[in-house]
């Protein structure tokens, strides 16, 4: 199994990415705390790695795609984790969205143990991950980037080498700051339009025809909340986690981000209102509820 790729973490993003590795014919061993996605992958021809330690002992390239900093650090640096069980020379690629300090700590510890590290957080949505259309922001040494590039090409369409380890996750935080911030602004703007009694489609035509337009409005809102679909591609809980990472990293770098702080607290309100598990486009429904308005939907879409 020495040429097998290990994949740890088969959530909304990770499962689709792992399936695309299998579709491209790559040998894969997988692990997740839930049996259901493991069964899905083994049905597609992957091997059940059994545990993180089992993955680490059998694979020379290990990918982690986990919910947050605590899970990533435990999986890689914990007593039963990757670093303890993997051989020198192993390449670990973390694709999670985590605190940059966590990324830096892992990179340093792995390097001191004779291993290699790449951070390659993912852009776009779970639907893109399933379709093999993800975007990757990669922090890696040049030789390591060349080694992981074929894997990234199997999982996505767009790859940016941002610099050495640590630059990928920092680029991701900048990206998510704007993406989540725009999601919040769209929610407020469309709630205002609804209160004004404006026709939704006409309003969208105007917004998408001026510099007010944005990817969240044109893509995520149009395919999710405005059609009544608030099943999560990316939850409000995860958006809150990411904005907390943005605010904390900015504080550490002595960069004031007042808009980021406001967006995070708006997400806190949505979570308190029971919206945490919904897609982050459901911020629109949250603001409509706060304003005592019916949910804003395209004509014929009333879910």
- Residues in CB range of 185: below 8 A, 6 or more apart: none
Which tokens sit at 218? Answer: 């044109």
User: Domain residue spans in the chain?
Assistant: 5-165, 171-290
Per the prediction, the chain carries an average pLDDT of: 96
Q: Indicate if the pLDDT at residue 211 is higher than 60.
A: yes
pLDDT tens-place string over residues 237-289:
999 999 999 999 999 999 999 999 999 999 999 999 999 999 999 999 999 99
Mean pLDDT of the region 24-43: 97
Kindly indicate the confidence band of residue 50, based on its pLDDT and cuts at 50, 70 and 90. Answer: very high
* Closest to 234 in 3D by CA, of 72, 123, 74: 123
CATH of domain 5-165: 3.40.50.720
Q: Say if residue 1's pLDDT is above 80.
A: no
Cα(109)–Cα(152) distance, integer angstroms:
24
Q: For the chain, how long is the longest CA-to-CA vector?
A: 64
CATH number of this structure's domain 171-290, picked from the four choices 3.40.50.720, 1.10.3720.10, 1.10.1040.10, 3.40.190.10? 1.10.1040.10
Q: With 50 as the cut, is the pLDDT of residue 180 above it?
A: yes
The mean pLDDT value for 38-52 works out to 97
Classify residue 3 by its DSSP letter. Answer: T
d(CA 93, CA 83): 12
How far are the Cα atoms of 48, 83, 119, 215, 283 from residue 73, in angstroms, in the given order? 22, 10, 13, 32, 30
The string of pLDDT tens digits covering residues 116-160 is 999 999 998 888 999 999 999 999 999 999 999 999 999 999 999
Of 190, 193, 226, whose CA–CA distance to 303 is shortest? Answer: 226
Q: Is-catalytic flag, 24?
A: no
Total residues found in the chain within this entry: 303
Q: Is residue 129 within 8 Å of 106, Cβ to Cβ?
A: no
- Given the residues 24, 172, 224, 254, select the one marked as catalytic: 172
Nearest-angstrom CA–CA distance, 259 and 76: 33
Distances (CA, A) of 193 to 105, 196, 287: 46, 5, 12
């Amino acid at each position: 199994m020495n040429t097998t790729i290990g994949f740890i973490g088969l959530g909304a993003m990770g499962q689709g990415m792992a399936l695309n590795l299998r579709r491209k014919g790559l040998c894969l061993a997988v692990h997740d705390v839930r049996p259901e996605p493991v069964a899905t992958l083994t049905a597609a021809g992957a091997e059940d790695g059994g545990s993180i330690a089992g993955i680490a002992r059998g694979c020379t390239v290990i990918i982690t795609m986990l919910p947050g900093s605590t899970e990533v650090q435990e999986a890689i640096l914990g007593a039963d984790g990757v670093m303890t069980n993997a051989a020198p020379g192993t390449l670990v690629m973390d694709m999670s969205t985590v605190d940059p300090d966590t990324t830096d700590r892992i990179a340093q510890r792995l390097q001191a143990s004779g291993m290699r590290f790449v951070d390659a957080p993912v852009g776009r949505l779970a639907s893109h991950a399933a379709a093999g259309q993800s975007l990757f922001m990669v922090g890696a040494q040049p030789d390591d980037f060349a080694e992981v590039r074929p894997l990234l090409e199997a999982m996505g369409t767009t790859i940016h080498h941002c610099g050495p380890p640590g630059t990928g996750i920092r680029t991701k935080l900048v990206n998510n700051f704007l993406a989540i911030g725009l999601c919040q602004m769209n929610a407020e703007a469309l709630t205002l339009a609804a209160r004004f009694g404006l026709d939704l489609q006409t309003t969208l035509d105007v917004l998408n025809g001026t510099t007010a337009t944005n990817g969240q409005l044109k893509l995520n809102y149009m395919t999710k909340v405005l059609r009544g679909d608030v099943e999560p591609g990316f939850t409000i809980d995860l958006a809150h986690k990411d904005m907390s990472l943005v605010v904390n990293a900015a504080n550490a770098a002595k960069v004031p981000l007042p808009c980021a702080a406001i967006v995070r607290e708006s997400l806190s309100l949505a979570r308190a209102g029971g919206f945490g598990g919904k897609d982050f486009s459901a911020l629109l429904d949250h603001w409509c509820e706060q304003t005592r308005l019916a949910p804003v939907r395209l004509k014929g879409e009333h879910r």
